[in-house]
Structure 1
Amino acid sequence: MADAFSSSSEAVLQRVVDVTATTNAPVENLEELYQIKKTCDFINQHHFEKVALQFPDELLVDSVAIGAEIEKETQAKLFILGDTSYGSCCVDEVAAEHFGANCIVHYGRTCLSPSRRLPLMYVFERRAVDLEKCASAFRDLYPDRQSHIIVLYDVNYAHVIDDLLALLTPEYPNAVGSALVVDGELCYSHRQTQVRHDDACRSDQDDDRVLHQFGRQFALKSGLTIKDYSMFYIGQEGGTLRNFMMTWNRCTFCSFDPLTLTGRTESVSINRALMKRYYAIERAKDASVVGILVGTLGVADYLTIIQQLKETIHRAGKKSYMFAMGKLNVAKLANFLEIDIFVLIACPENSLLDSSEFYKPIVTPFEMEVACNKNREWSEEYVTDFRHLLPGGRSHVALANEEEESDETDVSLITGALRSRHLTFDGPGASSFGSSVVLRNQTLTVANTNSAASFLAGRSWQGLEQKLGQTPVVKAVEGRKGIAIAYEDEGKSTL
């Protein structure tokens, strides 16, 4: 123990530490909950040498025991990833690449957003469901046995759906089950169908009765649309259910919570929620400076949507700045008072952020497009997956040609002021009025285009004082070595 505290920092970083494998679940249940044998088979079959095991915060207590069991059956070197930079439902490929991992095993609930960099395996925590209670709640919620119903669920309950449908189908011939799908040829999971994204898109185009969205796939009967179905969701209230309800906002939703063993009709007013989102769109129309928040580094095509947003915002006559700051909180965003509104690039489940506590609103890429792209109109369609907004996506709407654009004006529903959707930053107006104001058009006078730098210059406090030229130059000296508990110049510990 004495040598452990007196070694150099480099040796400490490389030391293997023995820890006791404590778990939240009994050791004998680890195989059932986390599919350890199939995980080992996956690692051995592909000969992966470095494997990253990603756990959400609530499952970290089981991570050491799971890693110890996997090490017994494989030759791979394991790394445990926790405290992800963004939502734990997304795959943290960046952290895995820092360790040179060959693949990632993602544990717990997930949004099933596609990843592209590393081979990926999903392991869902298999939570128990009382099938009799669930079926009884289903019957109470749907007394009409001919109802058209789609059964959705959180991924942790995917393993019981076949048994549940076996109980219900004889009574409810129009009940439809949804299947989880893996989007991408490098993905694998124990109870999923592997589907390439382009194949899924082709199936949607060839047969509009097959829907593939949010990692779920289900078929509709001929002559019916999604609006003709009710949704029955198994799981707790949260981002997954909220995402489903906002997207399929013309469907009625009921749910069953396996923890409380209760079923209910979801009473959240979707119309009210949509109106709150529309209010945010009006704020986006009024905004002059937009902050693009990078809320994911793992979801496929996030760089493409950033570039598309930049172009859309610029064409609408607004300025944009990009921010990457990990998990968001009120204090972080409060540092940027120059920004009028933020747009969050994240997975579908994390993009619907409640910004009521923030100083400035936070909108989704779809909402920003409604505000800035005059070809896109607000309708009953609501898009939470930004990939659908990209060229080739089912909800893509191209920008108008620049020569066809006119400087249209309308009235803000918030301030009542007259506003222009397309300002001009270049041309004679910019040179004659300087960098602060430019000529809008022949009927409106000027538009404020102050940059963030001008806002900073006007602040009473601009950060730490630089004192350029006032600080004396001194020769660099060698600093202390070791770890904080015992630096090398303090002598060896006597523990």
Structure 2
Amino acid sequence: MADAFSSSSETVIQRSINFLGKEKTSEENLEEFYQIRKTINFITEHGFTKVALQFPDELLVDSVGVAEEIQRNFNGKIFILGDTSYGSCCVDEVAAEHAGVDCIVHYGAACLSPSTRLPLMYVFERRPLDVEACASSFRELHQDTQSHVIVLYDVNYHHAIHEVQALLSPDYPNLVVSRLTVEGQWCYSHGGMDAPCGDGGFSKEEDRQRIHQFGRQIHLKAGLSVADYRIFYVGREGATLRNFMMTWNRCTFCSFDPVSMATRTESVAVNQALMKRYYAIERARDAAVVGILVGTLGVADYLAVIRQLKQTIRAAGKRSYVFAMGKLNVPKLANFPEIDIFVLVACPENSLLDSREFYKPVVTPFEMEVACNRNRVWSQEYVTDFRHLLPGGRSHVPPSDQQEGDEVDVSLITGTLRNLMGQDPAESSLGSSVVLRNQTLTVSDPNSAAAFLAARSWRGLEPRLGETGVTKAVRGRRGIAIAYEDEGTSA
């Protein structure tokens, strides 16, 4: 395959990219894999006339076939949503509202974040699972039949978990199998208006406590917490497993990969990941200018947590700027060198962004609060769902009322002294980022992006209004930068 950075312009333009995606599903298997009859019943029962079908990139190959099958029994309009604005695990309500639809059918992997605007139905990809091999791996890892174990799983294996439970429950009385459910009245598939998916193995005993997190319900015995259980995860390594491990980092995790049929213990990686996250918190404490990245427009309460972040950052004497730029990548964030650190507001699975390739670290709202809120300390608790940080949430910590800025500590990165609280920009004598005193003197806040721009040797193209003479327009060059048409071929 040709190198993407080849010196030949013709090669770059004509080169092909091999995409190893999912093979197209046969017509006879579309009903089984995409639950077309159930989807049609959902649409017709609620009288929807415009429906958006949201597919992740790996399932787009089947999108037309699924839409055609639904259209045969539906007189309304169907829209296919691809290339989602943010993560494909989230419901793209903004793109759906642009089409004026009445509901969304979301296919494939999902973070199960609550939907707030449109009725929603989830259709998971029914990936194959060797039930016997999964149960056998569980028994090898948990030879004590009295062990307290929670079974978590990727949503795409939901269809087969009840078979795994049927094989293990007779021998493991303390086994707890999680159940998929989604908060809010708009989700008709799990919780909401329809019956919950499966019974999850939950009894009606009153001596059980219910935990709801990340679209899962877990019923624990009275007097026990999640930390008292071992966790067995069914699914591939990825964002979902990483999210569980970071949140319940005191638990021992084991996983079964249905593709490679491998079983392993995952506990060692958590400590390394937590140390990396703590380093990012120290970078956040040293930062003077913070960029708040909007990584979702659909998860409930995302605006509320942005407002809270702005207040927390301001109280810590830092400047904040809000950025909405869709899917993140290195070149996008590299356009803002004045930002010392970014904080990403996204769903729990997309919040733990690996920022090794980025020029500046990207932290979560919880990590930014640890850095800026003196009342919140770094402990064994780790919060990836930003809704829990809001007032009324299970992990909410009110900000400190102490406004003194004379307490200092030592940065673990630079080794220099830093102010714990800094100066509130609202109380600064400048009153704004830049104050024009006269035509030659400008006083700026040293913690603002404007001060960073003023200190740069090159600040972009100057308009120079009235200083540039008017000239007649001339024909410019044609072609691409590497080989304009009027340039010679010789070196």
Cα shift at 1:422:
1.7
Which amino acid letter does the alignment assign opposite residue 80 of structure 1?
I
DSSP 3-state at the match of 1:80 = strand
Distance in 1, Cα, partners of 2:428 & 2:184: 49
Distance in 2, Cα, partners of 1:240 & 1:195: 26
Which amino acid letter does the alignment assign opposite residue 154 of structure 2?
D
Cα shift at 1:429:
6.7
Cα shift at 1:377:
0.8
Which amino acid letter does the alignment assign opposite residue 454 of structure 1?
A
Which amino acid letter does the alignment assign opposite residue 290 of structure 1?
V
| CA gap 1:208/1:360 in 2 versus in 1, 3 angstroms | farther
| CA gap 1:195/1:145 in 2 versus in 1, 3 angstroms | farther
Q: Which position in structure 2 is the counterpart of 1:345?
A: 345
Distance in 2, Cα, partners of 1:458 & 1:426: 20
Structure 1: which 5+ runs fail to align?
A: 1-21, 197-205, 437-446, 476-495
Whether contact under 8 Å (2:290, 2:320) holds in the other structure is: yes
Which amino acid letter does the alignment assign opposite residue 456 of structure 2?
R
Shifted more, 449-458 versus 221-230: the winner is 449-458
Which amino acid letter does the alignment assign opposite residue 102 of structure 2?
N
Shifted more, 84-93 versus 407-416: the winner is 407-416
DSSP 3-state at the match of 2:429 = helix
Whether contact under 8 Å (2:345, 2:365) holds in the other structure is: yes
Please report the TM-score for the alignment, with normalisation by the length of structure 1. 0.83
What are the within-5 Å matches in structure 2 for residues 326-365 of structure 1? 326-365=326-365
Alignment of 1:377 with 2:377, yes or no, is yes
Q: Which position in structure 2 is the counterpart of 1:142?
A: 142
Distance in 2, Cα, partners of 1:406 & 1:208: 47
2:191 to 190, 193, 200: 193
Cα shift at 1:401:
2.5
Which amino acid letter does the alignment assign opposite residue 90 of structure 1?
C
Shifted more, 423-432 versus 245-254: the winner is 423-432
| CA gap 1:138/1:195 in 2 versus in 1, 3 angstroms | farther
Structure 2: which 5+ runs fail to align?
A: 1-21, 195-205, 436-443, 474-491
| CA gap 1:364/1:109 in 2 versus in 1, 3 angstroms | same
Whether contact under 8 Å (1:184, 1:195) holds in the other structure is: no
Cα shift at 1:465:
4.7
DSSP 3-state at the match of 2:80 = strand
| CA gap 1:427/1:209 in 2 versus in 1, 3 angstroms | closer
Q: Which position in structure 2 is the counterpart of 1:412?
A: 411
DSSP 3-state at the match of 2:188 = strand
Aligned residues: 432
Q: Which position in structure 2 is the counterpart of 1:176?
A: 176
Distance in 2, Cα, partners of 1:458 & 1:117: 45
Q: Which position in structure 2 is the counterpart of 1:463?
A: 460
Q: Which one has more relative contact order, counting CA pairs under 8 Å at least 6 apart?
A: 1
DSSP 3-state at the match of 1:193 = coil
| CA gap 1:195/1:43 in 2 versus in 1, 3 angstroms | closer
Cα shift at 1:208:
8.1
DSSP 3-state at the match of 1:94 = helix
Q: Which position in structure 2 is the counterpart of 1:424?
A: 423
Q: Which position in structure 1 is the counterpart of 2:6?
A: none
Distance in 1, Cα, partners of 2:458 & 2:208: 58
Distance in 2, Cα, partners of 1:150 & 1:61: 35
| CA gap 1:294/1:431 in 2 versus in 1, 3 angstroms | closer
Which amino acid letter does the alignment assign opposite residue 114 of structure 2?
P
| CA gap 1:142/1:427 in 2 versus in 1, 3 angstroms | closer
Whether contact under 8 Å (1:253, 1:266) holds in the other structure is: yes
Whether contact under 8 Å (2:252, 2:267) holds in the other structure is: no
Distance in 2, Cα, partners of 1:377 & 1:287: 18
Cα shift at 1:431:
5.5
Q: Which position in structure 2 is the counterpart of 1:490?
A: none
Offset from partner CA, 1:65-110 (integer Å, 9 cap, x none)? 0000000011120110001111000000000011111111100000
| CA gap 1:101/1:407 in 2 versus in 1, 3 angstroms | farther
DSSP 3-state at the match of 2:53 = strand
Identity %: 67
Please report the TM-score for the alignment, with normalisation by the length of structure 2. 0.83
Whether contact under 8 Å (1:243, 1:349) holds in the other structure is: yes
Whether contact under 8 Å (1:435, 1:449) holds in the other structure is: no
Q: Which position in structure 2 is the counterpart of 1:388?
A: 388
DSSP 3-state at the match of 2:453 = helix
Greater helix share, 1 or 2? 1
Q: Which position in structure 2 is the counterpart of 1:88?
A: 88
Offset from partner CA, 1:120-147 (integer Å, 9 cap, x none)? 1111111121111111111111111111
Which amino acid letter does the alignment assign opposite residue 280 of structure 2?
A
Whether contact under 8 Å (1:124, 1:156) holds in the other structure is: yes
Cα shift at 1:427:
8.8
Distance in 1, Cα, partners of 2:278 & 2:193: 34
